[in-house]
Structures are given as structure tokens and as C-alpha cells.
Amino acid sequence: MPLSANILDGKKLSTDIKNEIRAEVSQITQSGKRAPHLVAILVGGDPASQSYVRNKMRSCEYVGFSSTLKRLPSTVTEEELLEKVRKYNDDPDVDGIIVQMPLPEHITPQRVTQTILPTKDVDGFHPVNVGLMTLNFPCLLPATPQGILEMLERYNIPTKGKHCVVVGRSRIVGRPTSIMMSRGGHPGEATVTITHKYTPAEELKRICPQGDIVIVAVGKPGLITAEMIKPGAVVIDVGINRVKDDSKKSGYALKGDVDFGPVSEKASFITPVPGGVGPMTVAMLLRNTLLAYKMSHGMAEMEQMTKDLYE
């Protein structure tokens, strides 16, 4: 008899986390301190990017953050953009900075990422934060991998000693997720296999069924099929792809990298698309902004983390 997977409801979890942040921000502001402040820089008019940024700004408002959306034309030069980032780096009333990707071709994303102060890098992409994350030191963690691990923790899914197969090696999701899943602590302590676009198809079909936890982030709709998942596995689908669908008013449907219907009959837990990992990414962005605020204000939680690190 086929299993019916439990849904990992990222939308509900993200609301829970936002409410926790909201309560903490309320305490902060009632004590007479200013609210955390997030700045988002949007270059150009890409519709998807505008939608993502609007969602982030609405979420800031919900939890009680101050927020600033700085729009720049797609013709902005790289140096002009970097100068804008430096301005916010130097502003003591700004706690977190994000530059929405993708950027126009004439701008190098790595230069932009490296210009943001690590202590204000709430996306968790700066090389300093990636290095600290790798060493399991306190830092601002990459938002999407952090959201995945938070989901595993809140659903009480064991990871210690489990085989985790990560499909995709991007610097934003796949690579940091593989590191975080193998680190000490919980969630973590997993045996991790990472696959990517150069992994032969037959090898991918051999490796995936070994996974107790399968995390997929490649941007290929329906890549992972039911025969690639063992019964009872936990499946985390990070992919979000626009697929032509004439039955929809928009003309397209959102699909993940996992063939949801058949896979959900074999998995024990599975994320939906949309409503799975996406909302968790925004929640972790907010959490990072709050942590960055605490770091800049010398609040006890981060001071204790740092003290524990060096003792």
C-alpha cells in the first residue's frame, strides 16, 4: 500500500516564525530602542524580482521592522551600485542589506556580494559568512539552507546518521545545504552525497534512492521521479519553475523539481511547490536581520554565542 506523505508546510511554519520575531521586535521597541531596519536594492524591472521584493517588504512591515526599498535602473553602472551599498554599510541605522538577484549582465554578482558588510549580509552569501558557516561558527547563515534545516527541526525529522542526497551544487542552496547537513548539532550529523549537472543520469538514478533525505535545487521541473525515491524518504523540493499551462489565467503553473504526485505516495514527508521552502527563505531573512540588529546593539544572545566560541 503506498504511503501518503505528510506535507512540510513552509507557509504555516514561516507564519509561526514571523509571529515569534514580531513578538520580540515589539519587546525591543517597547523598551525604547528603534526597530531593526532592512534595506533592499532592486536593479531593473524584472517582474519576478519585483514580486519577491514586495513580499519581503510586506513581511518586514508585518514583523515590525523598518524597511527601505531602493530602486535603481537597469542601466546603473556597477560602481554606482557598489557605492550605494557602501552608503548603507556606513549607515548605523541599517542592520541588513539585500541586493535582489539576478542583476543585469554588466554587473558582477560576486563583487556586489563581497561589498556588503558581512555583519549586514542577511542573505548569508558573503565569503566571510560562508567560511564561518563551514566551520560551524556563529554567523549569518544562508537563508534558504537555514530554512530547510529549520523545517527539519520543527517537524522533528531526525538527521543524525541519515543519508542526505543533495541534488544541485549552487552557492546559494546546494553547496551550503550539503555543508550544514553534515555539520555537528541538530539538524546535522548526516552523511551527505552531493550531485550536480555533471552527474550522469544513470548515476543520479542510482544515488537518489539511497537518500533518507533528498534535497533538490536544480531548476528542472519534474527531474526527480517516484522511482528515484525510496519508501519513507523525506523530500525537500527547492525548485520553483514556471511551466506553460493554458488552463491557468496567468498561462503558466508553478512546478517544483520533484514529480510531486507520484513521489508523495512514497515519501514520508514532502514540501509542496509553492508553499514549501520559499516562505521559509523569507522567514530566515527576517531572522538574520534581527540577529544582525542584535549584533550591532551588543545584545546578550550574540555576545554569549561569541563567548562560547572562543572559550
How far does CA 4 lie from the centroid of its chain? 27
Are residues 212 and 164 in contact, defined by beta-carbon separation less than 8 angstroms?
A: yes
For the stretch 23-27, contacts whose Cβ atoms lie closer than 8 Å and that sit 24 or more positions apart, written own/partner, are 24/290, 25/63, 25/64, 25/65, 25/290, 26/64
Catalytic residue among 9, 95, 100, 120: 100
Distance, in Å, from the CA atom of 20 to the CA atom of 165, rounded to the nearest integer, reads: 31
Q: H helices within the chain, ranges in order?
A: 10-30, 47-63, 78-89, 109-115, 127-134, 143-154, 174-182, 201-207, 260-264, 277-296, 300-310
Distance, in Å, from the CA atom of 32 to the CA atom of 278, rounded to the nearest integer, reads: 33
The yes-or-no answer on residue 121 being catalytic is no
Residue pointed to by grid coordinates 521541473: 221
Catalytic residue among 18, 56, 255, 266: 56
Residues in the chain: 311
**The three cell numbers locating residue 273:** 511547490
SS3 112: helix
Distance, in Å, from the CA atom of 113 to the CA atom of 107, rounded to the nearest integer, reads: 11
**The three cell numbers locating residue 217:** 535545487
The yes-or-no answer on residue 56 being catalytic is yes
Rounded to the nearest 5°, which phi and psi values hold at 97? Answer: -130, 130
Catalytic residue among 123, 212, 257, 259: 123
Are residues 65 and 25 in contact, defined by beta-carbon separation less than 8 angstroms?
A: yes
The yes-or-no answer on residue 100 being catalytic is yes
Residue 49: beta bridge partners? none
Q: Would you name the residues annotated as active-site residues? A: 56, 100, 123
